[in-house]
């Protein structure tokens, strides 16, 4: 999304896109490994969990092996991030140190979501973290690395991506609501109950799509802007599933569907602004 926005200003850089994408992938792998490890240690990945089988939970890999994998993915995230900053803002500048701090915080956030002594995901703070890192920092940070400046209007598409990423997490948390209760994981659905979590999910999707439409309305009108409209269809499908699928296993495929919907939305949005 950040790269599409930069391209719409004729300031796209392929090297920034490639290194930013690689850094993001390493951070996502780190987050997933740490989540697998943390949920196993804290008991959220118990036999009562209804989602896909996890690596440590199933015995496919040991605790020591996943610790090594976490260390390797964390190191790769840092190395890739440093190379990204080197080619975009240069080593040693003030901006470099600001983004280095963002990167270190990102690595810490990926790990301490469910790992560590006091994982913030167990306190119900995962949603705000996803909004900040997958939305505002990811989109606005990438845009800055392309262009060298910040633009307030980009807060709207950044908000869209952040809310859709949060919706992916919310589907996960609604699915795992019972096992999370048993493990003492106070996710948003655990705190407010399933019915209110469904309303919350609809708000995430509605506000996310509305923010994108708001961005479009602030641009000069072109018929290409209408390309974004079909993205509402998979959003409606996801919302309907969350409302109707009360069985955890039946809801599970819609976690992936929401993630893919975010991707489709981003691509249609990008096409509509270029």
Query: What span, in angstroms and rounded, lies between the C-alpha atoms of 123 and 189?
Result: 12
**3-class DSSP state of 158:** helix
Q: Are 2 and 138 in contact (CB under 8 A)?
A: yes
Q: Are 185 and 42 in contact (CB under 8 A)?
A: yes
* Torsion angle defined by CA atoms of residues 23, 38, 131 and 198, in that order, rounded to the nearest 10 degrees: 140
Task: Place 50 in a pLDDT band, splitting at 50, 70 and 90.
Answer: low
pLDDT of residue 41 exceeding 90, the answer is: no
- Report the pLDDT value the prediction gives residue 53, as an integer from 0 to 100: 62
Phi, psi torsion values for 260, nearest 5 degrees: -70, -35
- Report the pLDDT value the prediction gives residue 83, as an integer from 0 to 100: 96
Angle at 105 between CA 201 and CA 78, to 5 degrees: 115
Query: What span, in angstroms and rounded, lies between the C-alpha atoms of 36 and 121?
Result: 13
Which residues have CB under 8 Å from 56's CB, separation 6+? Answer: 36, 37, 40, 45, 62, 63, 66
CA atoms within 13 A on the CB side of 60: 10
pLDDT in tens, 211-263: 999 999 999 999 999 999 999 999 999 999 999 999 888 999 999 999 999 99
Task: Place 264 in a pLDDT band, splitting at 50, 70 and 90.
Answer: very high
- Report the pLDDT value the prediction gives residue 64, as an integer from 0 to 100: 87
pTM: 0.90
**3-class DSSP state of 198:** helix
257, exposed or middle or buried, with CB in 10 Å at 0-12, 13-18, 19+? Answer: middle
Q: What is the mean pLDDT of the chain?
A: 91
pLDDT in tens, 106-164: 999 988 988 878 889 888 899 999 999 999 999 999 999 999 999 999 999 999 999 99
**3-class DSSP state of 219:** coil
Please compute the mean of the pLDDT values over residues 14-28 and round it to a whole number: 96
Sign for the pseudo-dihedral over CA of 160, 32, 169, 271 = positive
The DSSP H or E segment spanning 50 is none
For the beta carbon of residue 28, count every other beta carbon within 10 angstroms. 14
- Report the pLDDT value the prediction gives residue 63, as an integer from 0 to 100: 83
Alpha helices by DSSP H, 149-252: 155-175, 177-183, 188-192, 194-217, 232-244, 248-251
């Amino acid at each position: 999304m950040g790269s599409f926005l930069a391209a719409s200003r004729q300031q796209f850089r392929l090297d920034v896109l490639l290194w930013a994408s690689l850094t993001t992938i390493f951070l996502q792998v780190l987050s997933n490994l740490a989540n697998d490890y943390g949920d196993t240690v804290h008991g959220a990945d118990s036999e009562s969990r209804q989602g896909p089988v996890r690596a440590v939970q199933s015995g496919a890999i040991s605790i020591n092996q996943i610790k090594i994998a976490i260390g390797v993915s964390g190191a790769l995230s840092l190395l890739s991030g440093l190379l990204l900053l080197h080619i975009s803002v240069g080593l040693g500048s003030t901006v470099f140190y600001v983004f280095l701090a963002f990167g270190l915080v990102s690595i810490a956030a990926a790990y301490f979501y469910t790992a560590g002594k006091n994982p913030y995901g167990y306190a119900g703070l995962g949603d705000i973290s996803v909004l900040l890192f997958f939305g505002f920092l990811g989109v606005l940070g990438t845009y800055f690395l392309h262009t060298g400046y910040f633009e307030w209007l980009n807060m709207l598409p950044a908000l869209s991506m952040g809310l859709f990423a949060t919706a992916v997490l919310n589907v996960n948390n609604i699915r795992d609501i019972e096992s999370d209760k048993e493990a003492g994981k106070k996710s948003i659905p655990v705190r407010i109950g399933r019915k209110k979590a469904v309303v919350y999910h609809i708000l995430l999707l509605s506000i996310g799509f509305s923010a994108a439409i708001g961005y479009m309305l602030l641009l000069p009108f072109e018929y290409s802007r209408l390309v974004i409209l079909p993205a509402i269809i998979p959003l409606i499908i996801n919302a309907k599933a969350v409302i109707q699928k009360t069985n955890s296993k039946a809801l599970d495929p819609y976690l992936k569907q929401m993630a893919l919907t975010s991707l489709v939305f981003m691509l249609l949005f990008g096409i509509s602004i270029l």
